[in-house]
Structure 1
Amino acid sequence: MTRAGEHGWPDALVIARDDLDRVIAHLRAALPNEGVALLATATGWSGGLLRVTRFVPGTNLDASPTRYTMDPREVIDALSEFERLGWRLGVIVHSHPATPPVPSPIDRHEAYYPMALAMIVSFATPTPVIGVWRMDDPAGPVAGRLVIGGGE
């Protein structure tokens, strides 16, 4: 990611191990299709670290191994909760059942919330591989950094 303060992006996304485990379990349960979820984050960051505050599992209405559409009611409910608690939509999470954790052409075309990071969890190998991406750059996705745990 760009340095903290540049273009409004943090240096890294921080997620607690138990939250990440829940994300992976939720996405694994959606296989062989893509799974989807949202992560709330604090509205700001300190020390260049953006911290996940809430995991919200979603339903993939497409039931497809190559695309996802989260149930709009779930999105509205999550965004309402985030606003009420003073958080923001920080990360849109989905899985790639058989491809690397890199934004696909569909992912890039359908990045409707470019100020949220994208987290992609790939199940193409026995151990899931995770990518974090900025989707706002016209030149294409920009790889980010994920910190698991406190990040201190």
Structure 2
Amino acid sequence: MVSSARILGTLCSAINSDVTRSLIDIVLYLHAQHLQQIEAHAERVYPNECCGLMLGCTVGEDKQILEIWETENAWNDETAIEFNADANLETAERRYTIAPEVMLAAQKTSRDRGWQILGIYHSHPDHPAVPSDVDRAWAWSHYSYLIISVCEGQSIECRSWQLDENHQFQPESIVLRNAGEIEIGDLDTTPQT
């Protein structure tokens, strides 16, 4: 399992722009059991990439993950064609996609609870927890992208990323919480009139 020290120790040491400074200040709050759930999912589907959704709420720029939605990696020959990828090279071991109907169901559930989809997690089998060029090309702004590196079936590193104004990934801080700790989602964020 990935230790919280390993997660928090992966922040970039060089901060080169104001955009990076503002993004690196964004915090992704994650319960320890959510991280364990994501790690177990990644290890279970190895050597394929796992994927799933992170639902929750925001206060300011910070994000509190309240629920993890494990999804099936829907990547197949048809999706490879849709994404103009080589079906022989781009397999579920190297790519992921989430079925549109799953995204819609997650959006509805989130909306019904007063939450939103805050991001997507996926694994990188036998590769670092760093976004690929394809991850960047397909990413949506404002989403967090949590990547788990799985080597030989074991989760070894977890990092979170978000696109900046120049469509480049910047690291996000991850703060692990234990059950029972106050969450930013517990705060009253109703606009005062």
* TM-score normalised by length of structure 2: 0.68
Alignment of 1:2-151 (within 5 A): 6=22, 11-42=26-57, 44-45=58-59, 49-62=62-75, 64-111=92-139, 113-124=140-151, 126-138=154-166, 140-150=168-178
For the pair shown, the structure with the greater C-alpha radius of gyration is: 2
Cα RMSD of the aligned pairs, angstroms, is: 2.5
Query: Structure 1 stretches of 5 or more lacking a match?
Result: none
Percentage of matched positions with identical amino acids: 23
Once the 2 structures are TM-superposed, how far is the Cα of residue 10 of structure 1 from its aligned partner? Answer: 5.8
TM-score after normalising by structure 1: 0.84
Determine if contact 2:39/2:155 at 8 Å carries over to the other structure. no
Which has more helix, going by share of residues? Answer: 2
Q: Which amino acid aligns with 1:45?
A: V
**Is the Cα–Cα contact under 8 Å of residues 52 and 69 in structure 2 kept in the other structure?**
yes
Larger RCO, structures 1/2 (Cα 8 Å, 6+ apart)? 2
Q: Helix, strand or coil: the match of 2:151?
A: coil
What's the CA shift string for 1:42-79, capped at 9, x where partnerless? Answer: 1x326x64211111001101161111011222111111
The structural deviation recorded for 1:95 is 0.4
TM superposition shift of 1:20: 1.1
